Amino acid sequence: MKDILANSATASPLDAIAPQRSGGSSQAPRIAVAGVSGYAGAELARLLLHHPRLHEAAHTFLGRAGEGENNAAISLEDLHPHLTKAGVRSTPIHPFHWDRISDAGIQVLFLATPHEQSREWVPEAIERDIKVIDLSGAWRLQQASNRDVYRLRDADPALAAALQAEAVYGCPELHRDKIKDARLVANPGCYATSIILALAPLLQAGLVDLDHGIICDAKSGVSGAGKAATAKTHFMYAADNLSAYAVFGHRHTGELLEQLHVNEGQIQFTPHLLPIPRGILSTIYLRLKQSTQPSEVSSVLQDFYRSSPLVRLRPSPQLPEIQHVVRTSFCDLGFVLAADGRRLIMVSCLDNLLKGAASQAVQNLNLMCGWSEEEGLL
């Protein structure tokens, strides 16, 4: 296993280029993005190309395994015409190959790839001293029982287990200190992000009556299902429709259990498909242990997110809406407390392709480089 299992606290490729953790200037790392053809990959490319620390950098954009190997050369602008800049030459998308990554001196690799592909590629990247920010679900879950939903298979189970134990769940609002020094960051799921950010402050403060249970009713735009069309995501099914799916079995449930430290009997999450392109609205029903004032709930949320620039709190009884967050990097939170002071409804909104995927990944990059976590995202 050589150096691949070295303690993550040892020197890393980013140590030399990010000597200051206070936001001071530092040299930008060399970055590659694999899987740039998908929706999240396209947003990630856009953010990196416009990032104030990175906009002049020569990024390496890569297809997924097999993409482009038997076809004519393709550019980022061919796939995503909205990224075209007047007077700027096209940006090539290369077939994925480790020699290309090494020759380019890549220090950070973003993986916007299927779960199985990310699980296979991460050990190789770490062995090559490349830090990884993975947008798939391959490394998010520490408990094997939760991870089983992805049906992952490891060529070297012992090595995968060691890397899994090292992987940091990439929710900056919960784990920013660990993310700064991580070699492997597992970007959270979009539904999970919306629910975790709504519940974490209340659970940490001990306000929630877990015996009464929590109900998470979450709705997402069609892009959350990925770019490949299915029978339930094509226009004729999704338009003018609203449907529940993956009841008692959605992949993001394990993230809720592990990050919120609750069990299956204490939380119920049901996702729904909205007939819109993007955005998530999660309505969360819970009961508090004792009668509480709205000002107390507000205080808990404000204290928890005081240093979180990408979480916006709506003053009660105002509630977030998808139109307020779509195409932004924010998660908006709001709540209404019943007159009895016990029944609380939280509403959380975010863009599933941004705060639920690409912009959260860039937020993690910013932390790893010692930059302000909101840089390039506002």
Determine whether 339 is exposed, middle or buried from the number of CB atoms within 10 Å of its CB (0-12, 13-18, 19+): exposed
Single out the residue of 220, 237, 229, 344 nearest to residue 282, CA to CA. 220
| Alpha-carbon distances, residue 180 vs 21, 123, 172, 239 (angstroms) | 9, 20, 9, 42
Q: Write down the catalytic residue from 190, 216, 349, 369.
A: 190
Neighbouring residues of 6: CB distance < 8 A, sequence distance ≥ 6: none
Residue 171 and residue 185 in contact, taking contact as beta carbons nearer than 8 Å: no
Q: How far apart (Å, rounded) are the C-alpha atoms in residues 97 and 90?
A: 21
Instruction: For residue 331, indicate whether it is catalytic.
Output: no
Cα dist from 302 to 202, 346, 360, whole Å: 11, 14, 20
Output phi, psi for 297, to 5 deg. -65, -45
* Cα–Cα distance, 374 to 378 (Å, whole number): 7
Whether 21 and 373 have beta carbons less than 8 Å apart is answered as: no
Reduced to 3 states (helix: H, G, I; strand: E, B; else coil), residue 330 is: coil
Helix pair angle (172-180, 358-369), 10° resolution: 40
Helix (H, G, I), strand (E, B) or coil at 106: coil
Distance CA 120, CA 144 (A): 17
The residues annotated with a catalytic role in the active site are: 190
